[in-house]
Amino acid sequence: MNSTKHSQIFAHRGASTEALENTRPAFDKALAYAIDGIETDVQLTRDEITVLWHDRFLDKAGLPDKRIDDFNYEQLKSMEFTSNYTPKNKHQGVMSLQAFIETYHARCQLLIEVKNREWESTLRHEIKIRQTLNIIGTISAHHIVVSSFNLDSLVYAHHYKPGFPLIYNFNDDQTITDADEILSTQPFLHGLCIPIQSLNKDMVNLLHKHDKHIATYTCNNDEEINKALELGVDTLISDFPDKALKIRNA
């Protein structure tokens, strides 16, 4: 089992409790701490540009009846979204994946979750995967891993770019039996990202048996952070990276 000092701390969507998630202010605030990496989310605009956004709708931008794919990238980029954390300040619109990687790939490790969900067509899923891998490859970025809750998308990504590190994100209802089957049938996977509530010693041992990377989300309170550290995960994802760092380094 890994020593706790080897567990890397990733800021979930940046410092998402201090600035609007998946934005430059959130990423910059996260990098004010000695984090190891940033986790972010990728979706597709109406004109098929990969951008950073988590939800399907734009509630957090004050447009609860609009989706990210209702707008072209230039429209989203020009919007001014007011952050709940800094209401007097505004920042310009949605950030593209290209700009994110160019800005941050040399500053820390990156975990990019491709949000391929059931309401989108398989074609858009595949466009998102190709764009993500092409952008990463274009700038020869290192220390970048791609993840998704959609296993078919990861299989597609593996065939599109064999050898690229891919992590499958588990849902709350998936079990160690599911993990064993997936790791046995999809050996290309770099690892799994397990909800902290589902993570236990048996799951960690299984992942070690398969020699896979162990990530866990979202570790926010002391109990969750300590649990992840004591189990020796490789990557600990938290909305409170400063707290996780203090506990890890104590």
Asked whether residue 100 is assigned to any structural domain, the reply reads: yes
Residue 102 has pLDDT above 90, yes or no: yes
Reported as a single tens digit per residue, the pLDDT across 154-185 is 999 999 999 999 999 999 999 999 999 999 99
- CATH code of residue 157: 3.20.20.190
Asked whether residue 123 is assigned to any structural domain, the reply reads: yes
Asked whether residue 67 is assigned to any structural domain, the reply reads: no
* Angstrom distance (rounded) from CA 169 to CA 219: 15
Q: Which domain holds residue 104?
A: 4-56+95-249
Residue 127 has pLDDT above 60, yes or no: yes
> What residue ranges in 59-127 does DSSP mark as E strands?
63-67, 80-82, 90-92, 109-114
Asked whether residue 87 is assigned to any structural domain, the reply reads: no
Q: What is the DSSP pairing of strand 191-195 with strand 166-169?
A: parallel
Total of domains in the chain: 1
Average pLDDT, the chain: 92
Residue 122 has pLDDT above 60, yes or no: yes
* Angstrom distance (rounded) from CA 108 to CA 36: 6
Asked whether residue 136 is assigned to any structural domain, the reply reads: yes
Asked whether residue 216 is assigned to any structural domain, the reply reads: yes
Q: What is the mean pLDDT of residues 27-43?
A: 97
- Neighbouring-strand partners of residue 42: 52, 114
Asked whether residue 134 is assigned to any structural domain, the reply reads: yes
Asked whether residue 138 is assigned to any structural domain, the reply reads: yes
Identify which has the larger pLDDT, 141 or 83.
141
Angle value at C-alpha 88, between 237 and 101, nearest 5 degrees: 40
